[in-house]
């Protein structure tokens, strides 16, 4: 394995299957991460309350609170922490549900170890990158919308809400490339840090959510427009 | 969204269809009677030879027959629709349970294989990983067997070795085996009472029942697990009760837990492992023994009590039990002749 620049990052591993957790614990520790292992949803929330983590690796089918509930509860308190869902469920509804509950990404069981490690590294990298780019100018305004990238607080019209880290990263990437066409693959590679072999529907789901937040009429977007068969383009002014 | 869903519930649709049908019948009778009177009056004046001498009940009866046929059609459609819905639900549950149960051990095996390939794992860790993989492989085998055995269970072949025993002796000995299987200390599974009456059972099948009940008690109890088994005889049945100190089963779910692939999820549930087949097996096996199983409890986190009733030999369900013994004898004779 290559040298890991994120050595020492704290990961909360939430997995009720002993055998899988022992293997994951070993591999992540070998990579230099510090692991806390929670065996159920209750314990996960308990650990999250008491300690600070850099990333959460979260199984869905858990005793007491399932992964969706854990993710939702964590998101209410910390919009920035990256959550990677580990799931045996592959149905599109489960994936959408996972992302809606606040997860930033998901990986399905059985998974390849190298891919899992790369995704974790990618998420930690994104977190760092995001911290850097938002520290200079945290607030961005367009139309009646205002996004504070340091705490993900948003205002659209009179309505205030919070973005997840991944949502903020997607809109940040679009804003940074204002006026240019951004393909789904660009987003996958730069926001998800993934090669484009995963389903592009993941990107589309995020765009649908962002439009719901910021567009006056999500069916006829004015800020985040689709470019047929290519991707999306962001314009901060209505035209 | 949910409200609309409730609105289209099959039972509601059926009730509405029934009301529509009854109104239609009423309307038909009303139309026939009123038209018959008008036709009689008008027909008499215009052309008396057109009006039949007696009332024409043929039209009335054929109309009613047609409506009854519609009712039967509706009823059959309703039954099959309901069955179809149940099958779809069952299939969804099956996929949800089995996906998790299949993929988790598979993911674990794959993870260890890749770990052993990528890292130079020290021997002690390597042995631990191999042990984990063996456990996962066993879990997969058990899961596949339990799914494949459902067909055997449904063809009523799972219990076939029926003999007459003294309930007390045989049940205590099976319970002891179960206790050893789960490596439970004696204090964790306490047997009380006695049932010195004769019964007919298949030891292997009853072992599956006890194993499942104990497995559930362990999965849904907080440490340390505490199971109390009580034996007694009523006038007709041998009664075995299994009481645990676990999370209990909500009243609403008590009947459903015996259904195939049914599982309860929620924030009070300490385990998500399982296929949803355990209690289905329990019910089917006990039913095949001519008995019944029910569950009760004192409330949330106050444990569950499973009550099994098996007929006392020659006292209750004589014909059915004798038939079981006859089938066993026949099968044994067949086996003997094959061996010779």
* Residues B97 and B276: beta-carbon distance below 8 Å: yes
Non-local (6+) Cβ contacts of B134 within 8 A are: none
Q: A27 and chain B: CB distance < 8 Å anywhere?
A: yes
Q: B113 and chain A: CB distance < 8 Å anywhere?
A: no
Instruction: Evaluate whether residue B39 is within a structural domain.
Output: yes
pLDDT tens track for B43-91: 667 666 655 556 567 777 887 888 888 888 888 888 888 888 888 888 8
User: Out of B100, B108, B272, whose CB is closest to A23?
Assistant: B108
More confident site: B233 or A239: B233
pLDDT at B288 over 80: yes
pTM reported for the whole predicted model: 0.67
Beta strand pairing call for B198-201 and A139-142: unpaired
Residue B30 CA to residue B63 CA, distance in Å, equals 12
Chain A closest CA to B111's CA: distance in Å? Answer: 6
**Does residue B222 sit in the same domain as residue B301?**
yes
Instruction: Tell me whether residue A162 is exposed, middle or buried, using C-beta atoms within 10 angstroms of its C-beta: 0 to 12, 13 to 18, 19 or more.
Output: middle
Query: B267 contacts in A (CB within 8 Å)?
Result: 41, 64-65, 69
A55 strand-pairing partners = A11
Residue A3: predicted pLDDT: 67
* Residues B65 and B237: beta-carbon distance below 8 Å: no
Q: In chain A, which stretches have pLDDT less than 70?
A: 1-3, 193-200, 238-239
**Does residue B142 sit in the same domain as residue B262?**
no
* Residues B244 and B225: beta-carbon distance below 8 Å: yes
Residue A59 CA to residue A85 CA, distance in Å, equals 6
Residue B137 CA to residue B106 CA, distance in Å, equals 8
Percent of chain B residues past pLDDT 70, beyond the cut: 89
pLDDT at B269 over 60: yes
Q: Output DSSP code: residue B235.
A: S
**Does residue B191 sit in the same domain as residue B219?**
yes
Residue A29 CA to residue A22 CA, distance in Å, equals 10
Query: B268 contacts in A (CB within 8 Å)?
Result: 64
Tokens matching residue B67? 């409506």
Query: A20 contacts in B (CB within 8 Å)?
Result: 104, 107-108, 111
Residue A22: predicted pLDDT: 94
Residue B310: predicted pLDDT: 95
pLDDT at B21 over 90: no
Instruction: Evaluate whether residue B336 is within a structural domain.
Output: no
Average pLDDT, integer, range B242-269: 82
pLDDT tens track for B101-146: 888 899 999 999 999 999 899 999 999 999 999 999 998 998 888 7
Q: B107 and chain A: CB distance < 8 Å anywhere?
A: yes
Domain count within chain B: 2
CB pair distance less than 8 Å for A27 and B119: yes
Interface test with B, best of A60, A107, A113, A118 (most B CBs within 10 A): A113
Interface test with B, best of A24, A85, A87, A109 (most B CBs within 10 A): A109
CB pair distance less than 8 Å for B118 and A113: yes
Chain B closest CA to A41's CA: distance in Å? Answer: 8
Interface test with A, best of B98, B105, B107, B138 (most A CBs within 10 A): B107
Mean pLDDT of chain B: 84
pLDDT band at B209 (very low <50, low <70, confident <90, very high): very high
Minimum CA–CA partner of A60 in chain B? B100
More confident site: A113 or B181: A113
B223 C-beta neighbours (distance < 10 Å), count? 6
- Please check whether the domain covering A10-130 is classified as CATH 3.40.50.2300: yes
CB pair distance less than 8 Å for B108 and A17: yes
Tokens matching residue A164? 């997840």
Residue A81 CA to residue B338 CA, distance in Å, equals 69
Percent of chain B residues past pLDDT 90, beyond the cut: 37
Residue B289 CA to residue B284 CA, distance in Å, equals 9
Interface test with A, best of B99, B105, B268, B301 (most A CBs within 10 A): B99
**Does residue B121 sit in the same domain as residue B205?**
no
Q: Output DSSP code: residue A2.
A: P
Residue A61 CA to residue A84 CA, distance in Å, equals 14
Minimum CA–CA partner of B270 in chain A? A63
pLDDT at B256 over 90: no
Residue B275 CA to residue B259 CA, distance in Å, equals 12
pLDDT at B24 over 80: yes
Residue A163: predicted pLDDT: 85
**Does residue B171 sit in the same domain as residue B78?**
no
A26 strand-pairing partners = none
Instruction: Give the residue from B136, B155, B174 where a domain finishes.
Output: B155
CB pair distance less than 8 Å for B99 and A90: yes
More confident site: A128 or B156: A128
CB pair distance less than 8 Å for B107 and A64: no
Domain parsing of chain A, residue ranges: 10-130, 137-234
How distant, in Å, are the alpha carbons of A16, A23, A27, B115, B196 from that of B125? 20, 10, 12, 11, 52
Q: B118 and chain A: CB distance < 8 Å anywhere?
A: yes
Q: A17 and chain B: CB distance < 8 Å anywhere?
A: yes
Residue B60 CA to residue B65 CA, distance in Å, equals 9
Residue A232: predicted pLDDT: 93
According to DSSP H, which parts of chain A are helical?
Answer: 18-30, 41-50, 67-77, 92-100, 113-136, 165-176, 184-190, 201-214
pLDDT tens track for A64-94: 888 889 998 998 888 778 999 988 877 777 7
* Residues A102 and A174: beta-carbon distance below 8 Å: no
Q: B301 and chain A: CB distance < 8 Å anywhere?
A: no
User: With a cut of 0.95, is the ipTM above it?
Assistant: no
* Residues A104 and A82: beta-carbon distance below 8 Å: yes
**Does residue B269 sit in the same domain as residue B300?**
yes
- Strands annotated E in chain B: 163-166, 189-193, 198-201, 227-233, 237-244, 292-297, 304-311
Residue A2: predicted pLDDT: 54
Instruction: Evaluate whether residue B275 is within a structural domain.
Output: yes
Residue whose entry in the numeric block shows the structure tokens 């994951």? A24
**Does residue B279 sit in the same domain as residue B191?**
yes
Query: A92 contacts in B (CB within 8 Å)?
Result: none
**Does residue B208 sit in the same domain as residue B132?**
no
Instruction: Evaluate whether residue B328 is within a structural domain.
Output: no
User: Which residues, numbered 239 to 258 in chain B, qualify as contacts with chain A under a Cβ-Cβ cut-off of 8 Å?
Assistant: none
Q: Output DSSP code: residue A16.
A: S
Residue B172 CA to residue B193 CA, distance in Å, equals 11
Tokens matching residue A84? 């990677």
Residue B266: predicted pLDDT: 66
Backbone φ and ψ for B265, nearest 5 degrees, come out as: -115, 150
**Does residue B105 sit in the same domain as residue B186?**
no
pLDDT band at B1 (very low <50, low <70, confident <90, very high): very low
**CATH assignment at residue B251:** 3.30.565.10
Non-local (6+) Cβ contacts of B279 within 8 A are: B212, B216, B257, B258, B262
User: Which residues, numbered 312 to 331 in chain B, qualify as contacts with chain A under a Cβ-Cβ cut-off of 8 Å?
Assistant: none
For residue B224, whether the previous peptide bond is cis, meaning omega lies within 30 degrees of 0, is yes
Residue B227: give the domain boundaries.
Answer: 163-323
**CATH assignment at residue B85:** 1.10.287.130
User: Out of B100, B104, B132, whose CB is closest to A22?
Assistant: B132
Q: B108 and chain A: CB distance < 8 Å anywhere?
A: yes
Chain B closest CA to A168's CA: distance in Å? Answer: 30
**Does residue B105 sit in the same domain as residue B130?**
yes
**Does residue B167 sit in the same domain as residue B311?**
yes
pLDDT band at B2 (very low <50, low <70, confident <90, very high): very low
- CATH fold, domain A137-234, is Arc Repressor Mutant, subunit A (1.10.10)
Query: A1 contacts in B (CB within 8 Å)?
Result: 118
């Amino acid at each position: 394995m290559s040298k890991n620049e994120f050595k020492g990052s704290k990961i909360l591993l939430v997995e009720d299957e002993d055998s899988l957790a022992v293997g994951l614990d070993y591999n992540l520790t070998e990579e230099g991460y510090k692991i806390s292992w929670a065996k159920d949803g209750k314990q996960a929330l308990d650990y999250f309350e008491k300690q600070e983590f850099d990333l959460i690796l979260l199984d869905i089918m858990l005793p007491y609170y399932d992964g969706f509930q854990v993710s939702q509860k964590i998101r209410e308190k910390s919009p920035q922490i990256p959550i990677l869902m580990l799931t045996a469920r592959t149905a599109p509804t489960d994936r959408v549900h996972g992302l809606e509950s606040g997860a930033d990404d998901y990986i399905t069981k059985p998974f390849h170890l190298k891919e899992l490690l790369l995704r974790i590294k990618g998420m930690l990298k994104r977190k760092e990158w995001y911290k850097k780019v938002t520290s200079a100018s945290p607030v961005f305004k367009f139309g009646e919308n205002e996004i504070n990238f340091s705490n993900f607080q948003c205002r659209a019209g009179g309505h205030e809400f919070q973005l997840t880290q991944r949502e903020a990263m997607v809109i940040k990437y679009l804003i940074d490339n204002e006026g240019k066409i951004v393909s789904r693959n660009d987003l996958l590679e730069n926001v998800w840090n993934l090669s484009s072999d995963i389903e592009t529907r993941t990107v589309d789901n995020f765009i649908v959510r962002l439009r719901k937040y910021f567009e006056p009429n999500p069916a006829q977007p004015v800020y985040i427009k689709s470019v047929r068969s290519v991707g999306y383009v962001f314009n901060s002014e209505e035209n | 969204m949910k409200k609309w869903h409730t609105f289209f519930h099959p039972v509601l649709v059926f009730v509405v269809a029934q009301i529509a049908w009854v109104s239609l019948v009423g309307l038909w009778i009303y139309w026939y009677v009123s038209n018959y009177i008008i036709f009689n009056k008008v027909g008499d004046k215009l052309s008396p030879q057109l009006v039949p001498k007696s009332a024409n009940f043929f039209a009335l009866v054929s109309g009613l027959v047609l409506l009854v046929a519609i009712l039967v059609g509706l009823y059959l459609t309703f039954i099959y629709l309901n069955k179809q819905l149940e099958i779809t639900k069952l299939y969804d549950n099956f996929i949800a349970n089995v996906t998790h149960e299949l993929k988790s051990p598979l993911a674990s095996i794959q993870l260890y294989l890749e770990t052993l390939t990528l890292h130079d794992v020290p021997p002690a860790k390597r042995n631990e990983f191999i042990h984990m993989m063996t456990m996962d492989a066993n879990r997969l085998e058990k899961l596949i067997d339990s799914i494949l055995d459902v067909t055997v269970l449904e063809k009523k072949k799972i219990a076939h070795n029926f003999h007459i025993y003294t309930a007390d002796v045989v049940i205590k000995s099976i319970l002891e085996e179960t206790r050893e299987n789960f490596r439970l200390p004696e204090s964790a599974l306490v047997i009380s009472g006695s049932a010195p009456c004769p019964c007919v059972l298949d030891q292997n099948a009853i072992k599956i029942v006890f194993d499942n009940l104990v497995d559930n008690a362990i999965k849904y109890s907080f440490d340390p697990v505490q199971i109390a088994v009580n034996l007694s005889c009523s006038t007709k049945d041998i009664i075995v009760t299994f009481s645990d100190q676990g999370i209990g089963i909500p009243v609403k779910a008590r009947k459903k837990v015996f259904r195939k692939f049914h599982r309860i999820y929620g924030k009070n549930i300490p385990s998500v492992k399982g296929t949803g087949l355990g209690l289905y097996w329990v019910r089917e096996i006990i039913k095949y023994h001519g008995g019944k199983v029910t569950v009760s409890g004192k409330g949330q986190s106050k444990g569950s009590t499973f009550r099994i009733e098996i007929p006392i030999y020659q006292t209750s369900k004589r014909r059915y039990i004798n038939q079981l013994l006859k089938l066993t004898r026949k099968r044994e004779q067949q086996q003997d002749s094959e061996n010779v």
